């Protein structure tokens, strides 16, 4: 698999990237960055830190630093001020950001590997929307597109109550992207809520005494504490790792269906909500494979393998 990861490099992004980098049959050609969970000026060193710790050389391209239209709101309460759970043991960086802009890199790589690329978006869809506006044929050159974002039952996690953070952060970008891709796969916020790791399973991962295991434990602590103490969640939530897992191992998907999906841009309380035509009433061709259930034990096994490698 030839993979490009588009990320706003929060804690769960880092966990997802770790899964990808430890798969022997996955060639991560590039990581593109943008503002989302934290500002891109922090996202960039976060990605470089992950690569440094895992001793991997992947080109990293910096992208767009704000949503297309609306003001940006960070998610530091979940990801820490630095986006990596206030990670203290940062190594000295020997890797650096490439000179080429992320949007131009996406277009170049999509031409170089036309029909071969898998693309996963772990944050807002700003870079992808810009690539589409520059070259409307960009989506046709992508073999597979998976994104973490949106809601499937209007159970959001933002001030616009029915919207999920990644789509809420840049609704226009999501609207442009979903209109352009004819076949995307969506891992929603609600699917995250019902497919977390029970705390004993999470603690098993944190106890893995390797470089990867210790990194996972250190960056995950603050999020875990907030989920337990503030929200009384029965499990550790895994938004981006679940999206990465179903991309890497599609057989983990237990229930999905394809529908036309778009994004609400105007509602006072619903701007940023993903609107799903469950009953095929719109007359629009289905464009998104909506994942509703997956094998969480299989995802846990992937993490055990990934964290045990170093």
Given a cut of 80, whether residue 76 has pLDDT beyond it is no
| pLDDT, average across residues 237-253 | 98
Number of domains in the chain: 1
Interval 122-133: pLDDT, tens: 999 999 999 999
| pLDDT, average across residues 217-246 | 93
Positive or negative, the Cα torsion across 178, 179, 185, 187? positive
Interval 153-163: pLDDT, tens: 999 999 999 99
Given a cut of 90, whether residue 88 has pLDDT beyond it is no
- Look up the CATH number of the domain holding residue 274: 3.90.245.10
Closest by Cα among 204, 42, 7 to 123: 7
Task: Say how far apart CA 27 and CA 31 lie, in whole Å.
Answer: 11
Task: Say how far apart CA 92 and CA 180 lie, in whole Å.
Answer: 40
The alpha carbon torsion through 31, 187, 115, 112 (nearest 10 deg) reads: -10
Locate all alpha helices (DSSP H) within 170-295, ordered by sequence. Answer: 171-180, 189-193, 199-206, 211-229, 239-248
Phi/psi for 148 (5° steps) reads -95, 120
Q: Check residue 152 and give its pLDDT.
A: 97
Q: Which two tokens stand for residue 187?
A: 């891992």
Structural domain boundaries enclosing 103:
2-307
Closest by Cα among 64, 288, 296, 39 to 177: 288
Split at pLDDT 50, 70, 90, the class of 81 is confident
| pLDDT, average across residues 74-98 | 87
Split at pLDDT 50, 70, 90, the class of 82 is confident
As a whole number, the mean pLDDT across the chain is: 96
How would DSSP label each residue in 73-99? ---HHHH-TTSSSS---PPPP-----S
Split at pLDDT 50, 70, 90, the class of 288 is very high
């Amino acid at each position: 698999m030839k993979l490009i990861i588009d990320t706003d490099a929060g804690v769960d992004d880092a966990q997802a990237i770790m899964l990808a980098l430890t798969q022997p049959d996955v060639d991560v050609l590039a990581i593109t960055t943008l503002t989302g969970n934290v500002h891109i000026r922090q996202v960039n060193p976060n990605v470089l830190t992950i690569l440094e710790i895992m001793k991997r050389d992947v080109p990293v391209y910096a992208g767009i630093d704000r949503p297309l239209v609306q003001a940006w709101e960070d998610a530091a309460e979940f990801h820490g001020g630095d986006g990596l759970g206030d990670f203290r043991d940062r190594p000295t960086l020997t890797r650096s950001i490439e000179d080429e802009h992320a949007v131009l890199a996406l277009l170049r790589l999509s031409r170089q590997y036309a029909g071969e690329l898998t693309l996963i978006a772990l944050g807002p869809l700003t870079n992808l929307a810009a690539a589409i506006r520059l070259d409307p044929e960009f989506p046709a050159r992508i073999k597979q597109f998976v994104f973490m974002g949106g809601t499937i039952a209007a159970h959001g996690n933002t001030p616009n109550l029915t919207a999920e953070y990644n789509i809420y952060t840049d609704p226009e970008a999501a609207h442009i992207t979903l209109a352009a891709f004819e076949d995307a796969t969506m891992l929603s916020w609600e699917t995250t809520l019902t497919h977390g790791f029970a705390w004993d399973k999470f603690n098993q991962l944190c106890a893995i005494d390797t470089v990867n295991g210790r990194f996972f434990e250190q960056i995950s602590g603050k999020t875990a504490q907030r989920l337990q103490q503030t929200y009384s969640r029965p499990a550790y939530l895994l938004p981006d790792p679940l999206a990465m897992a179903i991309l890497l191992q599609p057989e983990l998907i237990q229930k999905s269906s394809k529908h036309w999906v778009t994004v609400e841009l105007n509602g006072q309380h619903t701007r940023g909500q993903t609107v799903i035509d469950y009953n095929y009433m719109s007359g629009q061709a289905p464009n998104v494979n909506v994942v509703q259930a997956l094998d969480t034990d299989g995802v846990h096994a992937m993490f055990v393998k990934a964290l045990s490698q170093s």
